[in-house]
Structures are given as structure tokens and as C-alpha cells.
A and B are shown apart, each in its own frame.
Chain A
Amino acid sequence: MITLSHIEKTYAGADGAVTALKDVSLTVARGEIFGVIGLSGAGKSTLIRCINLLERPTSGSVIVDGLDMMALSDAELREARKSIGMIFQHFNLLSSATVYDNVAFPLRLSGMDEDAIRAKVEPLLALVSLDDKAQQYPSQLSGGQKQRVGIARALASEPKVLLCDEATSALDPQTTKAILELIRDINQKLGLTVVIITHEMQVIKDICDKVAVIENGVITESGRVIDVFTDPQRDMTKEFISVLMGSGFPPDLQNAPISAEPIPGGRLLVRLTFVGSSAGEPVISTLIRKYEVEADILYGNIDSIKDTPYGRMLLGLSGAPEAVENALAFLREKDLRIEVIGYVA
């Protein structure tokens, strides 16, 4: 649905050119919810604006629904933008227009007649549960309600793609959840392709199918959310995850020295990550029974990524060195991810 290839974006800055995006390529499949996560200033805002050419890449190509966006004339680009909805961190609603008129705005741009507009706007307001607020002004609404207006407005021209620019960053956690649910709902009901940029891992975890991590204008990691979550490669990705899930260490072990060599009487720390059905297997009890090791569960949590159950556990294995080796070998055979951290006293 969306293919960005080798996007470069440089700005003329005060001290020479500033590169905002470096050789960024990504593909978003039809009907997918694709998240881009990065710190502020990493280039994610520029990246999402390259999709509808609010920012024109310095080089590279942008294909949306088969259209080569960079090759379009101004008029063609305006038409193409009508099939790409966008919502914003600060909502960007017209303060001088009612909720109804804000949602009708894109339709009036297209010169639709008022009866047809009414027939479209009313069901949209119902979809976002704002039918009773049609004649209010944005200043009379809460942040979550404003974003609902933004969503209804973005959907009015029946887009195929919805771009979400930090759409929940200005909202409190409960409202964020409700807005994310709405986006997910729309994605499923209308088959809309959604691109979300955010600095909150929660957003990625709750609704995205795929994720790309952007650092200093470069995509450093990408893939299915479940894979990136369970097996992050980059330090920054790990940090994003640990902000959300905790470090995975109990407080008393957080600063403990970790040795690569066995310590007499010490424990081997092993992190297990369970995904999907393997979360239900009796791995630990088998381990203890078969291999004569002690397995202390030092830390554990279970969560879900979109709909997939996902758990993390920190085990402290102790026992005869051979038994510990065998136990590790057993764990490696299982359908779970294991990370050997080292020995602690």
C-alpha cells in the first residue's frame, strides 16, 4: 500500500545542510497498522510527512496505492491527498467552526452539496460517539473528543490510508487507550491502512502489527512487533521496551555484578520469553523435575502484544554445573526465547 524507497531529506540549516532522513525504506501492507517509534528529533515527523508530501523528500521515491507521489502535478497531488487521511498531536481543528463543520470541511473542499455532506457527516459523528456534540466548538471539548473529531474529519473523504502523527501524545493514558481502540476498530471495520508515529512503546504494543525504530534519521530496526519486542537488537529499542515493561530485574539484582564464569554457590541468570501458545507449557516444573536444578523465579510478567500473550521471566538456576548445562540445553530446545545473562553470587 505504501512503499518508501531510499528516502533522503536534507534541510538547509544555519550551519550547512541538516540531514533529517537517511536512506529510509519501508513497506506498509494493505490493512496493516504500522508503527514508527523514535525519540523527538529522530525524524519520525518528517518521515510521516513524506508519505503525503507535506515534506517533499530530497531524493527517493514514495508510492502510495500504486501512485508515484513525487511525479504528480500540484492538482493531482491534492486529489491523491484526499485518499490519505491524517490526524495530529494537537488535533489542528478549526477553532471557528463547529464539530459538524470541521468534519464537513474536507467534503466542502471537494464541492459536495450540503445534503450529501449531511449524509456523510452524521454517521461519522456517530462512529466516533460525538453525535450529541455536532454544534459545539472545539474549545468546548476535551482532548479525547477533539481527537475524535480529528479522526472523523480524516475519515470523511473515505481515505485508504490514515496517518497518525503523535495522535495520542497530548492525551492522558485512559484517553489514549480509548483513541487507540477507536483507530484499531476503524482499521478492522474499514480495512484502512494505518501508519502511526509515536514515542510511546505502549501505542506500538497495543495496536501495531509492525514497527520500525528510527534513530537520527535512520531506521535501525524493523519487523513484526512481536519479534522486535521479544528479541530487540538495538540498545534504544531495548530501552523503549524496558520503559514499558520494566527492566526485567528485581531491585536487589539491578546493580549486582554479573560474571561470565560460574561462581561457587552462585546462580545462573536466564531470561525466558514466552510468546503465544508456549506461554502455557509447563516448562519450569519439567525443568526442576528432570534436571535436578533449583530454579528460582526472580521476576516475571505477562502481557499481550496486540492480541498475542507474551511473558517474560527471570530464572536463577543453581545446582551442579553439569545439571545447569543440561537444564539450559533443555530450555534451548523449547519454543521460547532464552537469553543467558550470567552468574551472580
Chain B
Amino acid sequence: MSPDVIPLLMKALGETVAMVVVAMIAATAIGVPLGVLLVVTAKGGVLACPALNRVVAAVVNAVRSIPFIILMVAIIPFTRLVVGTSIGTTAAMVPLTLASIPFIGRQVETSLREVPYGLIEAALAMGATPMQIIRRVYLPEALSSIVAQLTTVVIALVGESAMAGAIGGGGLGDLAIRYGYQRFRPEIMLATVVVLIALVQLVQFAGNSLAKRLNKKEM
């Protein structure tokens, strides 16, 4: 392997991590409340509002059904509005975030639905307000499961970030395409894949350990 590969790899890894971390934080900040909204406004929820629920669910499905590569290009004007540019790593963070929000919303929804209704009923019987139920019952009870679900989202983001090269976002995927595929340097392709595998393994391991530590159901 030629010595120029290491700095290339490091730079690309840095870009991938930056894209994933920023998109993950931003998408979690919006996606978790979205998931809560999907659960509590559903029929029989603690803030039941089926009409709102249907609208939100429809929007979530719509965004989720757009392939990432198309979403990325389609929202270029919006991206420019938010970060002032439509190319580069920073610009790639916007579509990555946007694509992850509904994904996280649905994942969190699934986690919250696993909280037994009896717990919600017990809290209601104790005079808890809907906000108290969200904060003190739903979220703490589902936390371990949410962490496990978010781990899946991080890994999906690593994959999606590979497409960021299309708008000059850089990252590992971009490196593999440009050097490994287009310049016929299989050793770079291979090195990128190895780094990606290691990265995904690390994320999965960290997510699993944290989820396990938070889970008090089986001790």
C-alpha cells in the first residue's frame, strides 16, 4: 500500500464520522420527540389526537419513501438555506439529518409501544399528567430499547453517508468510489471497506453494551 493511502483514509474517516455524528445528534433531537408524538397522539394514547397522528404518520412515510440519493439532490435549495452551501461535508449533513428524522421517529415509536400499557395505566391512576407520563414512564422505560434502535440508525447513516460524495461531501464511501473504483486502486477499495467494517462493528458493540447496561428488565 502506498504511503499516500493513510492520510487519505484518515481524512475520509474524519469526514464520515463528522457527517454521522452531526446528523445523528440533530436527527435525534427532532426524531425522538417525533416518535413520542406518534405514540401519544395515537388512538387511545395519553394525548390522543388521531387526526394529527394520521397527518404526521403520512409525512413520515412520505419522507421515508424517498431514496436518499434523490432526497439529497431534491433538497439542495433547502440545504443552501440552512448551511449556506450545497456542496461539501457540511452540506451533506442536512439531507442525512432530514432522512434520519422519520427513521428515528418510527424506531422510537416502536420502542415506546413496547412499554406495557399497565404502566401507563398505573401512572394515570396515580394522577400523572401526560407530560409526566412521557418523561417519567415512557422514556425511562424505553431507554434501553431506544438506544438499541438508534444504533441501527447510526449504522444506516454510515451507509447513507457513502452517497454524500455525489455532492462533494467526501467520506469513506466517496474515497472508495473515486480512488478504488474510478482510479483502479483495489487496495484503497479494500482498505476503505475494512475501515467501514471496523467502524460499524465498533458502533454496534458500543450500542449493544450501552443498551444492555440500561436494561433492568433482565438482571
Q: Which residues of A contact B (CB under 8 A)?
A: 52, 54, 77-82, 84, 86, 88, 90, 92-97, 105-106, 108-110, 137-140, 153, 157, 163
Contact = CB atoms under 8 A, between A and B. Distances in A.
A161 B118 CA distance: 20
A140 B214 CA distance: 15
Contacts of B122: 86, 88, 92
A139 B125 contact: no
Interface in B111-141: 116, 118-119, 121-129, 132, 136-137, 140-141
A86 B141 contact: no
A138 B127 CA distance: 22
14 contacts: A54-B124, A78-B127, A79-B127, A80-B127, A82-B127, A84-B125, A90-B116, A92-B118, A92-B122, A97-B140, A109-B123, A109-B136, A110-B127, A139-B217
Contacts of A153: 126
A81 B116 contact: no
A293 to B, nearest CB: 59
A52 B129 CA distance: 15
Nearest to B120: A92
Contacts of B129: 78, 109
B125 A96 contact: no
A101 B113 CA distance: 23
Contacts of B214: 96
User: Which of A106, A108, A138 has the most chain B CB atoms inside 10 A of its CB?
Assistant: A106
Contact of A108 (B118, B136, B143): B136
Contacts of B218: 139
A8 B216 CA distance: 41
B128 A139 contact: no
B219 interface: yes
Instruction: Return the 4 tightest CB-CB contacts between A and B, nearest first.
Output: A92-B122, A78-B127, A92-B118, A81-B127
Contact of A139 (B116, B123, B141, B216): B216
B126 A96 contact: no
Interface of B: 116, 118-119, 121-129, 132, 136-137, 140-141, 143-144, 214, 216-219
Question: Interface residues of A: mostly helix, strand, loop or mixed?
Answer: mixed
Nearest to B218: A139
A88 B118 contact: yes
Contacts of B125: 52, 54, 81, 84, 86, 163
B50 to A, nearest CB: 14
A109 B136 CA distance: 9
A86 B122 CA distance: 7
A168 B128 CA distance: 25
Contacts of B137: 94
A81 B124 contact: yes
- Most chain A beta carbons < 10 A, residue from B116, B137, B143, B216: B216
Nearest to A163: B125
B140 A94 contact: yes
A268 to B, nearest CB: 54
Contacts of A95: 141, 216-217
Given A95-B141, A95-B217, A139-B219, A109 B127 contact: yes
Given A95-B141, A95-B217, A106 B126 contact: yes
Contacts of B132: 109
A104 to B, nearest CB: 11
Contacts of B219: 137, 139-140
Given A82-B127, A90-B116, A96-B140, 20 more contacts: A54-B125, A77-B127, A79-B127, A81-B125, A81-B126, A81-B127, A86-B126, A88-B118, A88-B121, A88-B122, A94-B140, A95-B216, A96-B144, A96-B214, A96-B216, A97-B216, A109-B123, A109-B127, A137-B219, A139-B219
A102 to B, nearest CB: 10
Contact of B136 (A79, A84, A105, A163): A105
Contacts of A81: 124-127
Given A95-B141, A140-B219, A105 B118 contact: no
Contacts of B119: 92-94
A92 B126 CA distance: 12
Counting chain A CB atoms within 10 Å of each CB, which of B119, B132, B137, B143 scores highest? B119
A49 to B, nearest CB: 8
B112 to A, nearest CB: 13
A280 B152 CA distance: 74
A74 to B, nearest CB: 9
B140 A90 contact: no
